[in-house]
């Protein structure tokens, strides 16, 4: 190859290197719109220069074609090296174009995360009449970008039911408008904002230091006794002050129905047209001696029917309070609920019930040990609890530990003793293990 041709090849490589450097700078920082425009102009200029140099190289190669064919065999390796350099440049140019297209179009992407868990034990932690190994959830957590103020959240859960069948459910489907930190308006299907656990610890069990939720706070199809989901509208926000912030929620949606012994949130609408409505008010300390402490109260009212014949309707009123102390070392949780239910159809009358739990855990360098006590005292003459498969009273003591294998995988163990005290009378011990991941 002539010295002129070598100079052109070196210039071609230099142009590609310059373009790669510009693209790398653009992707490594968060430039302003003017900076991005300037970088794109420089990138376009570099690409044009590369195209011109590549055309010149091809022209010179054509003119020297015959001479190259008659050259000594020693020239062949040099030509091969030039071909390799040219291919390398073309690959770099392709990478630049791909990276630049991705950079310009990243606001149209679909951020997605997920959770999954596998369990084994002498009982199933979600369906206690089964034992052995079980797959629980494969949970996809999507947050499509809709704009500066318009936000969205979709949680798609692939779960295994008590019959072993696999189903797909939209656990949450929310579209919202964020006015500021003080107010976000949501419509769709969301976790009913009561207490702490129901909104802070969703279907991805990796989030929870404990192996599972308290039994009465499980989701509806896992034995929970409260309407964990609501379909309707919800406004939530925080008002910041010196040393803390006031947290609030208010919501209104479809009244639920008990179908097959399970509370159904009536995603497609309800027959009787009665709503669920309620709210939550709390305070969180963000500095000072009480930093990490949150307390709050909540209430809800819903007219809930069942699928019995004749049909029953219960005015379900639930009042609750919670306290959470969450620091680098401690996680202490407590929630309590009072049920003040009125049967409106066949078995008229008022009924009082309650449920509560307390849990404490300490975060050591390698493990997080925890202990929990939970109790549900449910009036069995209340048509609401009578219609629920899991509406019996119980108490449970549990102890366990969590070990994080890395930042995305946790191994958990729990031993527990559960006593049923009215509908069924008896007790059983549980030895459970769980591998929970996030991605």
Can you tell me which residue has the tokens 């719109």?
33
d(CA 133, CA 360): 27
**End-to-end CA, the chain:** 52
CATH of the domain at 19: 1.20.58
Is 27 a residue whose pLDDT tops 50?
A: no
Helices (H), 176-228: 197-200
Tokens standing for 160?
A: 């295994």
- Mean pLDDT on 189-217: 95
Secondary structure letter of residue 193 according to DSSP: -
Q: Are residues 102 and 201 in the same domain?
A: no
**101 shares its domain with 250:** no
**Domain finish residue from 107, 136, 164:** 107
Instruction: Give 63 or 173, the one with higher predicted confidence.
Output: 173
Statement to judge: residues 41 and 141 lie in one domain = no
| Angstrom distance (rounded) from CA 259 to CA 263 | 6
Quote the CA–CA distance of 360 and 373 in Å, as a whole number. Answer: 9
SS3 assignment, position 437: strand
| Token digits of residue 134 | 């079980």
**What is the three-class DSSP state of 30?**
coil
Q: What does the angle CA 282 – CA 283 – CA 289 come to, to the nearest 5 degrees?
A: 150
pLDDT of amino acid 53: 58
Is residue 154 scored above 70 in pLDDT?
Answer: yes
Cα separation of 127 and 119, whole Å? 12
Sequence-ordered list of residues with C-beta below 8 angstroms from that of 333, at least 6 positions apart, any chain? 196, 197, 322, 323, 324, 357, 358, 359, 360
User: For the chain, how many structural domains are there in total?
Assistant: 2
Query: Are 377 and 299 in the same domain?
Result: yes
Same domain for 63 and 188?
no
Q: What is the pLDDT, as a whole number, of residue 101?
A: 45
When pLDDT is cut at 50, 70 and 90, the band that residue 94 belongs to is low
Tokens representing residue 12 in the block: 């071609």
Q: Is 105 helix (H, G, I), strand (E, B) or coil?
A: helix
Mean pLDDT computed over every residue of the chain: 83
Which CATH number do you get for residue 334?
2.40.160.10
Tell me the helix, strand and coil percentages in the chain, rounded to 5: 25, 45, 30
**CA gap 392, 423 in Å, rounded:** 5
- The answer to whether residues 219 and 256 touch, using CB atoms and an 8 Å cutoff, is no
Q: Are 115 and 88 found together in one domain?
A: no
CA–CA separation, 281 vs 237, rounded Å?
Answer: 10
Mean pLDDT across 207-228:
95
Share of the chain above pLDDT 70, in %: 75
pLDDT bin (cut points 50, 70, 90) of residue 83 is: low
**DSSP H helical segments within 73-232, as ranges?**
75-105, 197-200
103 versus 411: which is more confidently predicted?
Answer: 411
Same domain, 86 and 190: no
Q: Which of 92-106, 301-315, 382-396 has the lowest mean pLDDT?
A: 92-106
Average pLDDT of the residues in 22-41: 46
Residue 362 confidence (pLDDT) above 80:
yes
Q: What pLDDT is stored for residue 71 in this prediction?
A: 46
Asked if 133 and 119 touch (Cβ cutoff 8 Å), the reply is yes
Q: What is the pLDDT of residues 168-197, one digit of tens each?
A: 999 999 999 999 889 999 999 999 999 999
pLDDT, position 74: 46
Yes or no: say if 390 and 420 are a contact pair by the CB < 8 Å rule: no
Q: Same domain, yes or no, for 166 and 54?
A: no
- Which residue has better confidence, 134 or 348? 134
Residues 123 and 15 in one domain: no
Residue 310: the pLDDT is: 86
| Closest by Cα among 210, 235, 213, 208 to 223 | 213
In which domain, by residue range, is 302 found?
110-438
Q: Which of 107, 135, 165 is the last residue of a domain?
A: 107
Annotate 111-145 with DSSP letters as a single string: -EEEEEEEEEESS-SSSTT--EEEEEEEEEEE---
Q: Does position 414 have pLDDT exceeding 90, yes or no?
A: yes
Q: Is the pLDDT at 257 greater than 80, yes or no?
A: yes
The partner residues of 241 in beta bridges, in order of sequence, read 244
The verdict on 231 and 340 lying in the same domain is yes
Is the bond into 188 cis (omega within 30 degrees of 0)?
no
Residue 205 and residue 211 in contact, taking contact as beta carbons nearer than 8 Å: yes
Residue 87 has pLDDT above 70, yes or no: no
The 3-state DSSP class for residue 192 equals coil
Pair 141, 211 in one domain = yes
Task: Determine the 3-state secondary structure of 1 from DSSP.
Answer: coil
SS3 170: strand
Of the listed ranges 39-48, 230-239, 268-277, 341-350, the one predicted with least confidence: 39-48
CB-based contact 439:204 (threshold 8 Å): no
Q: Which helix (H) or strand (E) holds 297?
A: strand 293-306
Are 253 and 193 in contact by the 8 Å Cβ rule? The answer is no
At 300, the pLDDT band (50, 70, 90 cuts) reads very high
Tell whether the model's pLDDT for residue 386 goes beyond 80.
Answer: yes
Rg of the chain (C-alpha set)? 31
Whether residue 397 is predicted with pLDDT greater than 60 in this model: the reply is yes
Look at residues 54, 81, 107 and tell me which one is the last residue of a structural domain: 107
289 and 423 in a single domain? The answer is yes
The yes-or-no verdict on residue 428 having pLDDT over 80 is yes
Residue 219: name the closest of 189, 249, 247 by CA: 189
Entry pTM? 0.74
């Amino acid at each position: 190859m002539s010295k002129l041709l070598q100079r052109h090849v070196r210039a071609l490589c230099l142009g590609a290197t310059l373009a790669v450097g510009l693209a790398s700078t653009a992707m490594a920082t968060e430039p302003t719109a003017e900076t991005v425009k300037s970088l794109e102009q420089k990138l376009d200029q570099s690409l044009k220069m590369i195209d011109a140099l590549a055309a010149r190289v091809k022209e010179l190669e054509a003119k020297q074609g015959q001479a190259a064919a008659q050259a000594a065999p020693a020239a062949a390796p040099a030509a091969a090296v030039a071909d390799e350099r040219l291919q390398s440049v073309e690959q770099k140019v392709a990478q630049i174009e791909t990276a630049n297209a991705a950079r310009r179009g990243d606001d149209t992407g679909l951020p997605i995360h997920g959770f999954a868990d596998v369990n084994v034990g002498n009982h199933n932690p979600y369906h206690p009449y089964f034992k052995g190994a079980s797959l629980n959830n494969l949970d996809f957590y999507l947050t499509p970008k809709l704009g500066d103020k318009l936000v969205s959240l979709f949680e798609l859960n692939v779960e295994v039911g008590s019959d072993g069948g696999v189903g797909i459910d939209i656990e949450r489907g929310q579209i919202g408008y964020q006015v500021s930190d003080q107010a976000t308006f949501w419509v769709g299907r969301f976790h009913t904002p009561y207490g702490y656990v129901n909104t802070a610890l969703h279907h991805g069990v990796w989030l929870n230091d404990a192996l599972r939720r308290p039994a009465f706070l499980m989701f509806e199809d896992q034995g929970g006794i409260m309407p964990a989901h609501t379909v309707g509208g919800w406004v939530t926000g925080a008002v910041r002050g010196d040393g803390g912030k006031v947290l609030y929620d208010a919501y209104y949606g479809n009244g639920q129905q008990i179908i097959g012994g399970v509370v159904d949130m009536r995603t497609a609408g309800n027959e009787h047209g009665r709503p669920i409505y309620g709210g939550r008010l709390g305070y969180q300390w963000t500095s000072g001696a009480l930093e990490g402490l949150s307390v709050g109260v909540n209430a809800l009212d819903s007219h809930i029917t069942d699928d019995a014949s004749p049909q029953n309707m219960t005015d379900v009123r639930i009042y609750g309070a919670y306290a959470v102390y969450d620091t680098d070392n401690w996680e202490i949780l407590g929630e309590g609920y009072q049920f003040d239910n009125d049967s409106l159809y066949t078995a008229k009358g008022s009924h009082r019930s309650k449920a509560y739990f307390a849990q404490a855990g300490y975060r050591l360098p390698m493990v997080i040990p925890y202990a929990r006590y939970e109790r549900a005292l449910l009036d069995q003459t209340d048509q609401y609890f009578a219609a629920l498969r899991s509406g019996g009273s119980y108490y449970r003591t549990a102890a366990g530990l969590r070990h994080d294998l890395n930042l995305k995988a946790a191994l958990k163990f729990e031993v527990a003793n559960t006593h049923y005290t009215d509908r069924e009378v008896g007790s059983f011990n549980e030895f459970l293990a769980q591998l929970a991941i996030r991605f």
